[in-house]
Amino acid sequence: MNATPRILVLNADYQPINVTSFQKGYKLVWKGKAEVVKEDPKDVIMTSRSIARPKVIRLLTYLYLPYRRLNLSKQNVYRRDGFKCVYCGSGANLTLDHVLPRSRGGDNSWENLVTCCRKCNAKKDDQTPEEARMRMRHKPFVPTFSHLIEVEELEYSVTVPS
């Protein structure tokens, strides 16, 4: 989905922390703050010597992240739902749908927001999925960090001490 090479950063206990740019990730390795866990042997960086491009790195010092939270954002809802309309599965003309419409007290929450194409959004209008007789491919849920990492890069970053 993204052509720019990215690196998955693991904490010292191997829990995923973040997906970062190649430049930032490689700098951590180069500075001795992280080790390469997995590399792509087919992808070689040409410098003064050839080195395989790291794909996964692990911080050597445990990073305590007490306030790690996922932003509730349009992009992160799309990511959770795999960039597909939860009603018809289309990936075109996406927008957000309030499962319980806002006009009827529906809030902005992970449990009430789903990825929806404009066509289904118009069809559903001010109704609940049941009233509109539209089946959801999955129920909206609060995604975990690892879930979004699997889907794609995250829309927030963690500051790694320099």
One residue of 7, 58, 87, 98 binding Zn ion per CB under 5 A: 87
Residue 88, interface with Zn ion (CB under 5 A)?
yes
- Cβ atoms of 21 and 10 within 8 Å: the answer is no
Tokens of 66: 């007490």
What contacts 159, CB < 8 A, 6 or more positions away? none
Residue 154, interface with Zn ion (CB under 5 A)?
no
One residue of 63, 120, 149, 154 binding Zn ion per CB under 5 A: 120
Distances (CA, A) of 34 to 10, 56, 74, 90, 149: 9, 10, 32, 40, 19
Q: Name the one range near Zn ion by CB under 5 A: 24-32, 33-41, 112-120, 149-157.
A: 112-120
Tokens of 53: 């491009």
- Cβ atoms of 149 and 8 within 8 Å: the answer is yes
CB nearer to Zn ion: pick between 9 and 94? 94
CB nearer to Zn ion: pick between 104 and 135? 135
Residue 95, interface with Zn ion (CB under 5 A)?
no
Determine the 3-state secondary structure of 55 from DSSP: strand
Kindly state the smallest distance separating residue 93's Cβ from Zn ion, in Å.
9
One residue of 117, 148, 154, 160 binding Zn ion per CB under 5 A: 117
Residue 114, interface with Zn ion (CB under 5 A)?
no
